[in-house]
Chains A and B, each alone.
Chain A
Amino acid sequence: MTDFQPKADGPMVQILTDQNFQAEVLESKIPVLVDFWAEWCHPCRIVGPIVEELATEYDGRLKVGKVNVDQNQIPGDYAVMSIPSLLIFKDGKVVKTMVGAQSKENFKREIDSVL
């Protein structure tokens, strides 16, 4: 087995949906990193495991969740038209948008700049 296969959801990455987005993201007390992804998106499979690691590393300071773009309408509200897209929400607003597969270091730099 290779380590680039998508892993099962770790306990730290929350499944976000149209139903819980308001409560879990927009009304969150701490900033939220949202990973917009889909089954058919290969670059998303590269980013998925990185997002899981970020969830562990930033535990307590940043909530981390993922939205399946095929099953939810939320992506359209934020003009997400390319995946993977990682958005950071703070006080209900988007403060950072990161499009495409990037290194964990890049993601951390971007996250640190808004935390």
Chain B
Amino acid sequence: MTYDVIIIGSGPAGLTAAIYTTRADLKTLVITGVKWGGQLMLTTLVENFPGFPEGIHGPDLMANMRSQAEKFGAEFINDDFTSADFSKPPFKISVGSKTYEAKSVIIATGADTKWLGVPGEAEKIGRGVSSCAPCDAAFFRNKNVAVVGGGDSAMEEALVLSKFATHVILIHRRDSFKASEIMQKRVKENPKINILYNSEITEILGDLKVEKIKIRNNQSEEVKELPIDGVFVSIGHIPNTSKLKNIALTEQGFVKIHDHYLTSVDGVFVAGDVHDSDYKQAITAAGFGCSAALEAQKWLDEI
């Protein structure tokens, strides 16, 4: 059986695309990935998604989007895709030993945590190094933690942690944040959060778990050691494109686009953080998902 559309990914981009393709009566399969729902599953209250004046919890928003797509008949596979063959139509997407075929594909694989890449980090993920404060903050009750980053996600991590930790140090390599003013204000007014600008973690120390960090001031070059129980990394994301073959990528690894939503392969469309290096918002991802679905529909009408 050949699907009209296979959507790879289940964040706001993928699920919005699924709502549109199913409502256009296109036979749609969503390959969600094991960690379905994307980055919003790792958040708490989302306050900037229109239509929810009181905010909505990220995981609830994603569950709603998923139900909406299911209601219109989208099929789901709750697993990671293992390979994608875009060499000729029908396109073939494999999940383990099973292969699915489709006339068109929407790539919405999103992006994953970018880690610091410093000594001591990789082996302590889950032992004090984390990228998800809403998941792990409770382990740091009455402890001291560091958050690294300067965007909205870093601000949210720091604020979530401040509800549990004794003290939160927010470490940023620049001298100002790029986070929205409202989030910055909340962080700066929080008595539990201290900010270290122009600073970078150079090493994470500890035997079994995180015990200390080395921090370098990139202006004075001064290095100091700080006892700490946890390090939360929030310095951005890397697009999930490593499993995509026969499709053009940018130097940074994003799917390369032209004329808005078109990739280097006819019939393969893209939406969300896997191509968008500028906005990276839930609402823009959803918007891109809608556009990609409409483009796919147009393309299917023409072939």
CB-CB under 8 A for A82 and B126, given A3-B78, A103-B79: yes
For chain A, give the interface size range: 20 to 34
Q: Evaluate contact between B126 and A70: CB separation under 8 angstroms.
A: no
Of B45-53, B86-94, B127-135, B236-244, the one touching chain A = B127-135
What's the least CB distance linking B68 to chain A, in Å? 11
Complex partner residue of A79 from B35, B127, B130, CB under 8 angstroms: B127
CB-CB under 8 A for A43 and B135, given A2-B66, A81-B230, A101-B35: yes
Q: Evaluate contact between A100 and B126: CB separation under 8 angstroms.
A: yes
Q: Evaluate contact between A82 and B78: CB separation under 8 angstroms.
A: no
Closest-by-CB residue of A relative to B209 is A79
Q: Evaluate contact between B41 and A43: CB separation under 8 angstroms.
A: yes
The answer to whether the Cβ of B223 comes within 8 Å of any Cβ in the partner chain is no
Q: Evaluate contact between B208 and A83: CB separation under 8 angstroms.
A: no
Complex partner residue of A102 from B34, B67, B130, B230, CB under 8 angstroms: B34
The answer to whether the Cβ of A61 comes within 8 Å of any Cβ in the partner chain is no
Complex partner residue of A82 from B59, B66, B125, CB under 8 angstroms: B125
CA distance A43 to B79 in the complex (A): 14
CA distance A99 to B66 in the complex (A): 26
Complex partner residue of A38 from B34, B78, B125, B138, CB under 8 angstroms: B138
A75 proximity list for chain B (CB < 8 A) = 139
The answer to whether the Cβ of B70 comes within 8 Å of any Cβ in the partner chain is yes
The answer to whether the Cβ of A42 comes within 8 Å of any Cβ in the partner chain is yes
Number of interface residues of B (CB under 8 A): 29
Closest-by-CB residue of B relative to A45 is B59
Which residues, 30 to 88 on A, are CB-close (under 8 Å) to B? Answer: 38, 40-43, 46, 69-70, 75, 79-83, 85
CB-CB under 8 A for A99 and B96, given A41-B135, A81-B139, A82-B139: no
CA distance A73 to B186 in the complex (A): 33
Closest-by-CB residue of B relative to A100 is B126
B67 proximity list for chain A (CB < 8 A) = 2
CB-CB under 8 A for A79 and B41, given A38-B138, A43-B135, A103-B79: no
CA distance A70 to B132 in the complex (A): 17
Q: Evaluate contact between A105 and B59: CB separation under 8 angstroms.
A: no
CA distance A2 to B127 in the complex (A): 33
B125 proximity list for chain A (CB < 8 A) = 82, 99-100
Interface string of B58-87 (1 = CB under 8 A from A): 010000001100100000101110000000
The answer to whether the Cβ of B203 comes within 8 Å of any Cβ in the partner chain is no
Closest-by-CB residue of B relative to A38 is B138
CA distance A101 to B78 in the complex (A): 12
The answer to whether the Cβ of B261 comes within 8 Å of any Cβ in the partner chain is no
What's the least CB distance linking A33 to chain B, in Å? 16
The answer to whether the Cβ of A97 comes within 8 Å of any Cβ in the partner chain is yes
Q: What are 12 A-B interface contacts by the 8 Å CB criterion?
A: A2-B67, A2-B70, A4-B66, A4-B78, A38-B138, A42-B42, A43-B135, A82-B132, A83-B135, A85-B126, A104-B34, A104-B79
Listed from nearest, the 8 A-B pairs whose CB atoms lie closest are: A99-B126, A82-B126, A81-B139, A79-B209, A103-B34, A42-B59, A101-B35, A82-B136
